[in-house]
């Protein structure tokens, strides 16, 4: 059994533990990221996190603290920009450009850390320690508890923003809280797949699941299942081939997404009722 062989090594145990935790958290948070159409904010948060991580390396602390500090601050700033979507992506883009510029500066100030930069960009799951795993678990629990607490009103305001506001849902506050949750999930996921491939865990699994079912819990379960399997697949292949884990994870995620879209397009799978059911309801 190859898996037992792999799991003899502590670094592989840690990689599997952290990878599984991160895959679960990212898929669940990602479902709401896709539902709310804030994928660009998620993308920006991860890149802003890069600068935070680079800054942390420069001052000699673990990159995760820089990631957390920068992404949470950026999420707060985005939350203050509010729900207005038109101007918002431009504003996020400008903050993002500034943050990335800062990241480059941090790297130049200390070129000795080029390998650190590489692992922030592409992930460093194989080099993760037991205490990193514990931290991932802690962050993951906070994220899932907070998200499940706000999930029902969040769903309501994502589907029917004006009606939800009229019914008393504090939409501005909750969208800011949600961005903080995304910031935590992104910081965590960067450890596994790195800044550049964050979408492989955050967006691809839930987006794939949404093509398969229009129901909340089945979609969440599918997203988590896909995210975890893709992560394990990446870890196992990376162990045997010495190529990058994030390459395999990203490839698996993209392949699953494309396969599902192809099958939906071919009509092999789909969540549409027979056409008669729709017509029957219209004629009366």
Report the interface residues with another protein, using CB under 8 A: 34-35, 37, 148-153, 155-156, 159-160, 162-169, 207, 210, 213-217, 219, 271-273, 277-278, 280-281, 284
- Closest CB 50 distance from another protein, rounded Å: 28
CA 243 vs. chain centroid, Å, equals 22
- Closest CB 220 distance from another protein, rounded Å: 10
- Closest CB 159 distance from another protein, rounded Å: 5
168: region left, alpha or beta (phi > 0 left; psi from -120 to 50 alpha): left
Max CA separation in the chain (angstroms): 74
In sequence order, what E strands does 113-217 have? none
Q: In terms of CB distance, is 112 or 277 closer to another protein?
A: 277
- Closest CB 228 distance from another protein, rounded Å: 20
Q: In terms of CB distance, is 60 or 168 closer to another protein?
A: 168
Q: In terms of CB distance, is 133 or 150 closer to another protein?
A: 150
- Closest CB 162 distance from another protein, rounded Å: 4
| Secondary structure letter of residue 125 according to DSSP | G
Q: In terms of CB distance, is 127 or 214 closer to another protein?
A: 214
Q: Which long-range contacts (CB under 8 A, 24 or more apart) does 247-253 make?
A: 249/192, 249/193, 249/197, 249/200, 249/201, 250/193, 250/197, 250/200, 253/200, 253/201, 253/204, 253/205, 253/208, 253/226, 253/227
Q: In terms of CB distance, is 13 or 221 closer to another protein?
A: 221
């Amino acid at each position: 059994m190859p898996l037992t062989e792999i799991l003899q090594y502590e670094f592989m145990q840690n990689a599997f533990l952290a990878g599984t935790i991160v895959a679960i958290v990212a898929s669940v948070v990602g479902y709401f990221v896709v539902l709310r159409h804030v994928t660009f904010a998620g993308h920006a948060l991860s890149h802003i996190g890069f600068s935070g991580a680079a800054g942390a390396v420069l001052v000699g602390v673990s990159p995760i603290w820089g990631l957390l500090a920068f992404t949470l601050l950026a999420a707060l700033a985005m939350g203050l920009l509010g729900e207005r979507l038109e101007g918002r992506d431009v504003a996020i883009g400008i903050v993002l450009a500034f943050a990335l510029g800062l990241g480059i500066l941090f790297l130049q100030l200390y070129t000795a850390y080029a390998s650190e930069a590489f692992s922030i960009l592409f992930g460093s799951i194989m080099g993760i320690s037991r205490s990193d795993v514990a931290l991932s678990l802690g962050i993951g629990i906070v994220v899932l508890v907070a998200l499940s607490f706000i999930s029902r009103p969040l769903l309501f305001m994502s589907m029917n923003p004006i009606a939800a506001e009229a019914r008393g849902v504090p939409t501005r506050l909750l969208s800011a809280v949600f961005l903080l949750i995304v910031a935590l999930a992104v910081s965590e996921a960067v450890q596994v797949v790195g800044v550049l491939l964050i979408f492989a865990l955050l967006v691809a699994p839930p987006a794939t699941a949404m093509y398969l079912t229009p129901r909340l819990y089945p979609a969440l379960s599918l997203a988590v299942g896909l995210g975890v399997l893709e992560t394990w697949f990446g870890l196992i292949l990376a162990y045997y081939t010495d190529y990058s884990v994030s390459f395999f994870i990203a490839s698996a995620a993209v392949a699953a997404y494309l396969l599902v879209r192809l099958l939906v397009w071919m009509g092999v799978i789909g969540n549409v009722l027979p056409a008669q059911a729709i017509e029957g309801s219209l004629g009366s």
